[in-house]
Amino acid sequence: MDNSKRYERLLERYRNGDLDRRSFLGLIGAAGLAYGVQTPFARMAFAQDVSQVRFDGWGGVVSEAFRRYAFDPYTEATGITVVDGTFAGGDEYLAQVRSSREGEYNIAHLSGVFDYARYVNFGLDVELNLDNIPNMELVMDALTNAFRGITPDHLSAVPYNYGTTGLAYNRAYISDEEIREKGASILIAPEYEGKIGGWSDWRTRLWYAALQTGQSPNDIQDMEAAWDAIRAHRDLALKYWGSGAELMSLLAEEEIYVTEGWSGRIAALQEQGHDIGYYDPPSSFGWQECLFVIKGSPVEACEELLNFMLAPETSIAVAEGQNYPPALDGTKVDLGEKIPTLPAYDPSGTLEALTFADPTYWNGNEAEWSETFARVQRGF
């Protein structure tokens, strides 16, 4: 039986009351949305209840890729409008969500396990029905397991992409050999004073301080040595950058020669023809991002959108647009030609080469360490 006849029979059973809405959605799934074969069914399933879903993300190239490759095609296929917003920072957005009416915010593009744990701790999670998200079977277990470590009995998000915060350097001034020899310590090398950059994020600064002092980022024993390394970087750096656009500008204009940077942004610079190298030193900062469904949201409509976004055609197109590898397992899905060339890409599907932050360790120290970092920024 071809798909169109199969769906007609399912729709007939749904109309007759033989299938409830959840069973209907679970049977038809959403994978076929990418091919346009489910349009009338998705529209009927949600027409009476849901007209729009709100999605909030980081803005810039990420939002552009989502809108072009995911949201607009999803709306065309389902009739559900995706209203997308942006937020400048995770802390500000979380405060907005906590003070909002339940259901005002639906899906958030969060910074992986850090934010996942915080949202769960504030009781903002839901229980997703993974039967409605069959494309989750294509996602790397290594990414999903990180969230199950926080909520073993359920998931409130799906992993979507990953990357690293490694060392970015201008090859006109720093060779590949030098970056590998010095590693993270190049960010506190006196000979590059005034040509060093860094992200104004306390977690990143502490992570690299741990590497510079020979410590594990997930078990920093000598905190004073780490703070001293941060002070050394502060005094040598031209400035802290606050956005991906600023990072790219500083490197492209040669205002700085070396900084830690986000792998996708460096890939974009390389695509533009800039001779910027990228190197992940041992225990480089690996991270993942997720699509988190917030308490009070129309969960089934959100599940439909998540499954559509995880469909290989959609997920790969978004990944190519924003230069971060998708959460899809490359041993299960043909990811095309570009994605295997991206910085941070792991062909094994295990991510064993990457080091991820322990959310319990880092979130548990957030209040003290973020406050101390603020003082260090001011010169103390």
C-alpha 36/C-alpha 40 separation (Å) is 9
Matching fold, domains 51-162+287-356 and 163-284+361-377: yes
Residue type, 60: G
Q: Phi, psi (5° rounding) for residue 351? A: 60, 25
C-alpha 333/C-alpha 96 separation (Å) is 37
C-alpha 157/C-alpha 291 separation (Å) is 5
Q: Does domain 51-162+287-356 have CATH number 3.40.190.10?
A: yes
Residue type, 4: S
186 secondary structure, DSSP code: G
Contacts of 304 by beta carbon, 8 Å cutoff, 6+ apart: 25, 30, 33, 42, 45, 46, 78, 80, 132
Q: How far is CA 22 from CA 19, 35, 82, 240, 273, in A?
A: 8, 22, 21, 49, 49
CATH dotted code for 163-284+361-377: 3.40.190.10
Q: How far is CA 292 from CA 54, 160, 276, 329, in A?
A: 12, 10, 33, 20
Give the start-to-end residue ranges of the domains of the chain.
51-162+287-356, 163-284+361-377
pLDDT digits (tens, 9 = 90+) for 94-148: 999 999 999 999 999 998 788 999 999 999 999 999 999 999 999 999 999 999 9
Q: Output 359-367 pairs: Cβ under 8 A, ≥24 positions apart.
A: 359/113, 359/114, 359/116, 359/117, 359/150, 360/117, 361/218, 361/219, 362/114, 362/203, 362/218, 363/114, 363/117, 363/118
Quote the pTM value: 0.82
> What count of other Cβ atoms lies within 10 Å of the Cβ of residue 87?
17
Q: Is 152 exposed, middle or buried (0-12, 13-18, 19+ CB in 10 A)?
A: exposed
DSSP 128-150: --GGG-GGGGGB-HHHHHHHHTT
Q: How far is CA 33 from CA 7, 76, 333, in A?
A: 12, 10, 18
Q: 200, 173, 204, 203: which is closest to 189 by C-alpha?
A: 173
pLDDT tens, N- to C-terminus, the chain (380 residues):
443 444 455 445 545 555 444 444 444 333 333 333 343 334 444 444 789 999 998 766 567 778 888 889 889 888 899 998 887 677 888 999 999 999 999 999 998 788 999 999 999 999 999 999 999 999 999 999 999 999 999 999 999 999 999 999 999 999 999 999 999 999 999 999 999 999 999 999 999 999 999 999 999 999 999 999 999 999 999 999 998 999 999 999 999 999 999 999 999 999 999 999 999 999 999 999 999 999 999 999 999 999 999 999 999 998 998 899 999 999 999 999 999 999 999 999 999 989 999 989 999 999 999 999 999 999 98
